[in-house]
Structure 1
């Protein structure tokens, strides 16, 4: 069916299903990695009831790897999505806009997919700089949008499966399995734009340029978590080398409302069958353990450091809990989220989980949680609670 004269006509060679499929493969991979690692992050931060006591503490850098991949794949998806939309946007001007019920459902699913993906990537990007200009909770919205995207994507793939299959491999007969309407459109595009060899060369140039763009944004942002790339950090909001005691902070003591008066006379209260309290001097007199663990934050930055302190399992054993227990960890902070966090039994039993008193050979700086903070393997940074004052057994 001819396009009405009042609508634009697109004669570019690369506004075609074959180019859209090629870009879509890369975009689909980025979305899949982003989704899987995002689910992993969500369940480590907020484990479901069925996972109680079974959260993995190994590998110790597991969360660092998965959350880094989550942010890296999300950033890489931005140029991929923009190019994907560029290849298919002429279809917005198809006439008639709706040809059947199935066609209407297809266009609705695409509208939902595009809108949800753009919003998800936009929100995720702003989260890396901790800027939240919207009135709703970021985590809840980000989590819900992820499943909207996956659902809409599955519908889209099901509807477009014949077209995707026809163009999955680079063959000269790719259009033979398309429906008659798309076959005519593809043929018209080739007749107008020139021979197939020229179109293939332009497609390769586009894909090479896209690959270079994705590689560039990855190299200049991934250094906040990938140590070998740290010297290339240009776009990342955090340089993992910058911060008190060589480690960045997201919330300072001042921002958390910690005052000098709070620190004077500080005592640690530990619950259990035999509850007790410890002064800082008494805590330092207990056997100290030194570990090397990463601090990995949901915004995508991470860095390994040397921590020294008392094992949580030793503190619980002193309270009459030799086999560990699930804990509620309470901070002195007055402002900001995660002033109270939960710790699963799997962590409290692990010998690498510490109530840390020292960082990189020095007494904790106030911004790093002085007098005591949590550090545990394979645990999100927001749950590595600072300024700890109570360990409550659940």
Structure 2
């Protein structure tokens, strides 16, 4: 017989029941699946496989802003939901005997992997929003594979528990006042963490941005900055800076020659993987005009190299759909002012529906591929 404080009957709350677990689980599952789908899209935009690379589209203009905002919003909302879900089921940890059969042991092992993957995924994702990485492994690759592990584990868990979920999907008895109060508390918690962080990408919630790591209206020229010129080692552009474009007809352009070319303006957002975004009015030379000047084919991709000496996005590739888009600019000004060094002076890339890490700053060279 079991002895001690965790003996049979030690957990007296009526909320450690299948109905409560199913109700919370529906909400948690929805948040996690939205988070996974939008995160997968972000990964594909940042590192598209060869078969997808030339089929990406630069529309809708605000697409990445919306999907990455949803990714971070749903991930943060999942944190209190996961806490509530684990609270409803944690007495199961103390079942006796721990494993009644091989199948039961495998099921419990799968749940352990699922919970561990979810906790690590949400924990590392939350710290990524403040750009704090107190671990030795690479964040992006680890986050990507943990997402697959957590989602696969969730689907397997749902398959194993399908009869139980189906039996308690709808309320069959009188509503429990305790359950109503508990679910109201969970809903309020999700609402608070969402409303106080979503303003970093949702303009009409900006006044409520209390706990978000970024306010989208604070920074040089009214825009936030993730990587400063000092961090990139590009605080001062070379006095003889010029843009080099390599292609069938290679050439170089000084700043005065760039300014003498037709100038275009575009209202486009900077949307970063950490979940914040902000719109600005950019002005500069269309990238498609620079391609035409170099004799680039219509379907040519573009490689952009930054002045920064090091960094994972010092060199980025741009598919033809982005390079040829009339809104894609080699920006020289923002909101009517010459670019601040932190925003990429002397020139930067700005393109629609593109992750912020790929909007290369401090551009030195373009190469037609």
Name the TM-score class by shorter chain: over 0.9
Equivalent residue for 1:258, pick from 234, 244, 252: 234
> In structure 2, do the counterparts of structure 1 residues 324 and 283 end up closer, same or farther at CA, with 3 Å as the change threshold?
farther
Higher mean C-alpha deviation, range 332-341 or range 115-124: 332-341
* Equivalent residues of 2:344, 2:362 under 8 A apart: yes
Separation in 2 of the partners of 1:289 and 1:46? Answer: 29
CA distance in 1, matches of 2:165, 2:330: 53
- Kept in 2, the 8 Å contact 1:249–1:368? The answer is yes
How many angstroms apart in 2 are the aligned matches of 1:55 and 1:364?
A: 29
1:294-333 matched pairs, under 5 angstroms: 294-321=269-296, 323=298, 325-333=300-308
**1:52-201 residue pairs with structure 2 within 5 A?**
52-172=53-173, 200-201=176-177
SS state of the match for residue 215, structure 2?
A: coil
Alignment counterpart, residue 5 of structure 1, candidates 3, 6, 12: 3
The superposition leaves residues 86-106 of structure 1 with CA deviations (integer Å, 9 ceiling, x where unpaired) of 000000000000001111111
Residue 245 of structure 1: aligned partner: 221
TM-score (norm: length of structure 2): 0.97
Match of 1:224 among 196, 200, 206: 200
- Residue 51 of structure 1 deviates from its aligned partner by 1.2
The equivalent residue for 1:22 is 23
Q: CA deviation at 1:342?
A: 0.8
Between the aligned partners of 2:134 and 2:22, the Cα distance in structure 1 is 35
Indicate conservation of the 8 Å contact 1:316/1:324, yes or no. no
What is the CA–CA distance in structure 1 between the aligned matches of 2:338 and 2:90, rounded to whole Å? Answer: 58
Provide the residue aligned with 2:261 in structure 1.
Answer: 286
Larger radius of gyration: 1
Gaps of 5+ in 2: none
Deviation per CA, 1:187-241: give whole Å up to 9, x if none. xxxxxxxxx65xx111011111111110010000000000000011110000101
SS in 2 for 1:379: coil
> Shift of residue 263 of structure 1?
2.6
Q: Say whether 1:270 aligns with 2:268.
A: no
Q: Deviations over 1:162-185 (max 9, x none)?
A: 11000000112xxxxxxxxxxxxx
8 Å CA contact 1:341, 1:385 repeated in 2: yes
What is the TM-score of this pair, normalised by structure 1? 0.91
Distance 1:352 1:245, change over 3 A: same
Distance 1:96 1:251 in 2: 54
Q: Say what the alpha-carbon RMSD is for the aligned residues.
A: 1.0
Query: For the Cα contact (< 8 Å) 2:77–2:190, is it kept in 1?
Result: yes
Q: Look up the SS of the partner of 2:266 in the other structure.
A: strand
User: 1:322: how far off?
Assistant: 5.3
